[in-house]
A and B are shown apart, each in its own frame.
Chain A
Amino acid sequence: MNFNRRIYNRRKRSNAIWLVLSALAALFGIVWLTLILYSLFYNGFSSLNADVFAKMTPAPGEAGGLWNAIVGSLIMSGLAVVAGTPVGILAGTYLAEYGRYARLSFFVRFINDILLSAPSIVIGLFVWQVMVVNMQSFSALAGAASLMIIVIPVVVRTTENMLLLVPNGLREAAAALGAPRSVLIKAVTWRAARAGMVTGVLLAVARISGETAPLLFTALNNQFWSTDLTKPIANLPVVIFQFAMSPYEGWHHLAWAGALLITITVLGLSIAARLLESSKRS
């Protein structure tokens, strides 16, 4: 009995030790993430004021805001989503409907999932060579194109996943009524999976709203107001990057404010996507 009790106590002890270590790991992770959010909100909100939305990015030492960068980011993200979403939805539809078991789909899925996590800076290099070199200028269009390449895989993945959730009974019912496959897809499966597909687009927007690396040498930056798509354009991520790396106090504040704006946008979009998904499920 004595011997057994020793083993028993040892097992209880190691159980306690490892569980405490796990809890400490959780604490460790949560502490750092809270610290980041805390300093982001503290520094961000103390730098956020009406000027941020009213004035252009300033020269060093002057007062200013981020309005041109905000608008530039909105323009490029908008273009990227408008151009990338249809491609993503169509490709996702092929993977889930026409080509569900096709050999080609296997490759497309594989490559798509790699593009999903591929280094975004490499996508910037690609667009630089294809567009910036040929147009001989950095441009908003090139920036939008690189963001579009990031949007497509996200939309493809969610579209396929959502279409796969649509019960086959629905497809069979439509087919039994004599609907051609394209009508079946557009009127039945797309409609059944709509909430999920919108979720995918929201997540794609969230994904690109903080993307910096591919914009550094496609959209570049612009200190002034510009909506010309063939010219360099101001955008939040690159402004944050340049302002944060500068030695000027005023620029640092604007960088924090910009980072806060991006984070709020991303969190808002992710929460909206989540709500949409759960409202669909219930």
Chain B
Amino acid sequence: MVDVALSGVTVPEHKVAAVKRGSAGDVRFRALTLAASVLVLAVFAGVMLSLAMGAAPAIKAFGFDFLTTQYWNPVTEKFGGLASIYGTLISSVIAMLLAVPVGIGIAIFLTEICPRPLRRPIGIAIELLAGIPSIVYGIWGLFSFAPYFQENIQPWFVDLVANVPVLQDVFAGPPYGIGIFTASFILMIMILPFISAVTRDVFDTVPATLKESAYAMGCTTWEVVWRVVLPFARTGVVGGAMLALGRALGETMAVTFVIGNAHHIASSLFAPGTTISATIANEFTEAVGDLYRASLIELGLILFFITFIVLASAQIMLRALEKRAGGVQG
């Protein structure tokens, strides 16, 4: 704001006092809002610092081996986080591999194919589903999906690929119902509404004139989607997908119910495993001994680190997009 210098004007005393009061209040209020924003930074720094301090005994005891061994034994107090880290990464990657194409398909359906009167209701339904707490997906997975999968799909699928090389190892073993694959599937369903909603929003930012010119040249709907909409929306879709990946990596409740909690890396995706968040959720309250707790906290630190990188990249991509969108409009 610009200060305006007034000369030759007499201002009554009480008005000067009022202005002074106002500006004193202004300074206080400004400081208050500033303090609140610094608090946001402080929370973040506090989380990092407390995790690092809590994990210190485990880092000291196991060093780099923590990242490369899957030996997890509370009795002998030997801990390695590899099985949890592997489970976190593999379940999120599988979930993304399934959810991204399907989510983009849903977005294409909503923006190009769906009859107009249905677009808004279906779009809103998907947005609402994106807000459903993950524990609901978790108990559905445990009570409804896993038993059905165990009895009807898993044995059939194991038989189907029994003689196919590679696949027979990836989908092998007794049908437990729960395991890495089930967890990935539930994760996929959980992030699907989120990916669809973000992708649809990005597709909606494609200027109508661009699409119309392509149609005017005789492009089919698919050609418009593939050559105009997707290239234009690429950054946004990738950013949205990274955001979804960040959520999938840190997700606890949708996974903990159905992963099986086994500290072991199996070649089969049907075998039970664990993720970082599932390990912490299952074991932290019962963890006895400083080293056991510190190891769990170190897992948390690793998770925080991984998600930070993923989410930060997502931020950077989406910020770039925002800048471009601003440039187009303004």
Contact = CB atoms under 8 A, between A and B. Distances in A.
A192 interface: no
B232 interface: no
Contacts of A112: 40
Contacts of A207: 131
A98 B33 contact: yes
Interface string B235-266: 00000000100110111110011000000000
Interface residues of B, number: 93
Interface stretch (A28-36, A52-60, A74-82): A28-36
B174 interface: no
Residue of B109, B114, B193, B285 ringed by the most chain A CB atoms within 10 A? B109
B43 A244 contact: no
Interface of B is mostly: helix
Contacts of B23: 180
B329 interface: no
B223 A240 contact: no
Contact of B40 (A11, A129, A153): A153
B150 to A, nearest CB: 16
A277 B73 CA distance: 53
Contacts of B311: 113-114, 117-118
Nearest to A216: B281
Interface in A90-137: 90-91, 93-95, 97-99, 104-105, 107-108, 110-115, 117-123, 125-126, 128-130
B300 A94 contact: no
Given A114-B311, A121-B300, A130 B46 contact: yes
A229 B108 CA distance: 50
B80 to A, nearest CB: 19
B54 interface: yes
B189 A237 contact: no
Nearest to B249: A119
Contact of A244 (B124, B243, B257): B257
Interface of B: 1, 19, 22-23, 25-26, 28-30, 32-41, 43-44, 46-47, 50-51, 53-54, 101-106, 108-110, 112-114, 122, 124, 126-129, 131-140, 142-144, 189, 192-193, 196, 220-223, 225-226, 243, 246-247, 249-253, 256-257, 277, 280-281, 284-285, 296-297, 300, 303-304, 307-308, 311-312, 315
Interface of A: 11-12, 14-15, 18-19, 21-26, 28-30, 32-33, 35-37, 39-40, 43, 86-91, 93-95, 97-99, 104-105, 107-108, 110-115, 117-123, 125-126, 128-130, 149, 152-153, 156, 175, 178-183, 185-186, 203, 206-207, 209-213, 216-217, 220, 237, 240-241, 244-245, 252, 255-256, 259, 262-263, 266-267, 270-271, 274
12 contacts: A11-B223, A25-B105, A39-B140, A87-B36, A91-B37, A110-B312, A125-B280, A182-B28, A186-B29, A210-B135, A213-B252, A217-B285
